[in-house]
Amino acid sequence: MTRQKVWDPLVRVFHWTLVLGFVANALLIDEDSKLHEQIGWAIVVLLAVRVVWGLVGTRHARFTDFLPSVSGALSQLRDMATGRVRHHIGHSPLGAWMIWNLLLGIAAISLTGWMMTTNAFWGVDWVEEMHEALVLWVGLSALVHVAAVVVESLRTGVNLPRAMVTGTKVMPDDDTTR
């Protein structure tokens, strides 16, 4: 087994802070409260920091390290269907698609949330409906993400949740690591 440093502290703090902020605003905080808006702005700041870090950060934090790839995703699906295991130091191809989905979804929630506070869109039904639909989409996507992390951890033998806490993946010693 080889220990690979993969997720730097900024990525891990971003991940878990975003999880807490999203869960708080989606499930716990009254949507009409000032706290809901403040958490929304905190999430916008988190996203801005993550965008900068995605451009200049450590190797696996950079967006170029996990660009979505249709062929990569199809290859991973084939591997899953046939029982072949390939280990990925950073995000897997399907993981990359999910991360982009979640980041863009959170950004769209933030945009529609801000729109609802402007004179131009205050009280406009489609903006509020879009905001709520995006929250549902990201929530369902997050559940799929968590399930996929559990399944892939069991399938590949790499404890992905532990890696997002410690920053280090414990990888099998083989030639299937990418």
- Give the model's confidence band at 174: pLDDT under 50 very low, under 70 low, under 90 confident, else very high: low
Evaluate if residue 178 carries a pLDDT over 80: no
Instruction: Dump pLDDT digits (tens) for 111-128.
Output: 999 999 999 999 899 999
CA end-to-end distance (rounded Å), the chain: 15
Residue 50: name the closest of 7, 77, 15 by CA: 15
Instruction: Dump pLDDT digits (tens) for 33-80.
Output: 999 999 999 999 999 999 999 999 999 999 999 999 999 999 999 999
How large a percentage of the chain has pLDDT more than 90? 93
Give the pLDDT confidence score for residue 177 in this predicted structure: 54
Give the pLDDT confidence score for residue 143 in this predicted structure: 98
* pTM of structure: 0.91
What's the CATH fold of domain 2-171? Fumarate Reductase Cytochrome B subunit (1.20.950)
Give the pLDDT confidence score for residue 176 in this predicted structure: 53
How far is 64 from 66, CA to CA, in rounded Å? 6
Q: Residue 2 belongs to what H/E stretch? A: strand 2-5
- Give the model's confidence band at 2: pLDDT under 50 very low, under 70 low, under 90 confident, else very high: confident
Q: Facing residues of 171 across strands? A: 2
- Give the model's confidence band at 175: pLDDT under 50 very low, under 70 low, under 90 confident, else very high: low
Instruction: Dump pLDDT digits (tens) for 126-144.
Output: 999 999 999 999 999 999 9
Instruction: Dump pLDDT digits (tens) for 78-87.
Output: 999 999 999 9
- Give the model's confidence band at 1: pLDDT under 50 very low, under 70 low, under 90 confident, else very high: confident
Give the pLDDT confidence score for residue 173 in this predicted structure: 78
Tokens of 149: 């992390």
Distances (CA, A) of 94 to 47, 68, 69, 115: 21, 8, 8, 31
Q: Where are the domains of the chain?
A: 2-171
**Residue 26 backbone phi and psi in degrees, to 5:** -80, -35
Tokens of 27: 């499930």
